[in-house]
Amino acid sequence: MLWYKAWLETRMRFVICLIGITALSAYNLYRMDHEVTSPVNAAFYNNVINRQDGQLAVLWLLAFNLLAMGGLLREKTVGAASFTLALPFSRARLTIIRMAMSLAQAMTLLIIPGGAIILMGDIFRNTQSVSQALFHLALLTGGGILLYAIAFLVSTVIEGEYTAPMASGGITLAIAFEVGGPSLLHYNPVAFMMGGEFYDAHAGLLRGPFPWTQIVFFCSLAAPLLFLSVKSTQRREF
């Protein structure tokens, strides 16, 4: 029941984001194939794919900010919180299921458009390697989990249909532009998602050792933020 309720709350936002991101990713590769008349070498195509993944990162940031919104605080604004609180479930369970649903949707918004990019590349005879696709996915997921946790926490603290996503988006922009010193750039989740420090422009490929340390660091910061989201919901007056 709670899973279905969480799905109903976000399904329209999820479907719109899924169709939009997938269609845009496929269209950009289609346009490249039809507008570039000269033969496309591997480096050129790899650079196009990396630009596509950078665009996917930006769109994903916007999408999961929308998916993270909702829950009891939003229901309080529209006057429906009393009905949800009357259900025989704890606030913690309500929050955790909403969190799990939006996380699953957010990952789907990465996997399906990413698969569309690989499929379109195969159709146009320029295929991205599986290892590169997984590297991109790891970067996007590793940095994105922290930004998602921030967005979800904001949704449990700030009321308002549009105030919460605007606040969350503002925090993301602040992180993107302010956490940029030489000693901190390595741990900027937005820069990490874009993959600049791993990118070989000559070959158009991501290179280097798999960034386990940074991914663990971002996850270790995300976990307490998600825990605070549950606690915030439990202690709030509705």
Residue 172 near residue 150, CB atoms below 8 Å: yes
Query: Residue 152's closest CA among 216, 98, 189, 110?
Result: 98
Q: What are 69-104's pLDDT values in tens digits?
A: 877 777 777 767 777 777 788 888 989 999 999 999
Residue 235 to residue 204: CA distance in whole angstroms:
50
Q: How far is CA 89 from the centre of its chain?
A: 28
CA-to-CA dists, residue 128 to 6, 38, 81, 197, 201, angstroms = 35, 19, 47, 20, 16
Number of domains in the chain: 1
Q: Which tens digits make up the pLDDT trace of 7-45? A: 888 889 899 999 998 888 778 777 766 655 555 556 666
How far, in whole angstroms, is CA 208 from its chain's centroid?
23
Q: Determine the pLDDT at residue 166.
A: 87
pLDDT of residue 72: 78
Averaged pLDDT for residues 125-147: 82
State the residue range of the domain holding 36. 2-235
What is the reported pTM? 0.86
**DSSP code string of 161-222:** TTHHHHHHHHHHHHHHHHS-STTTGGG-HHHHHHTGGGEETTTTEE-SS--HHHHHHHHHHH
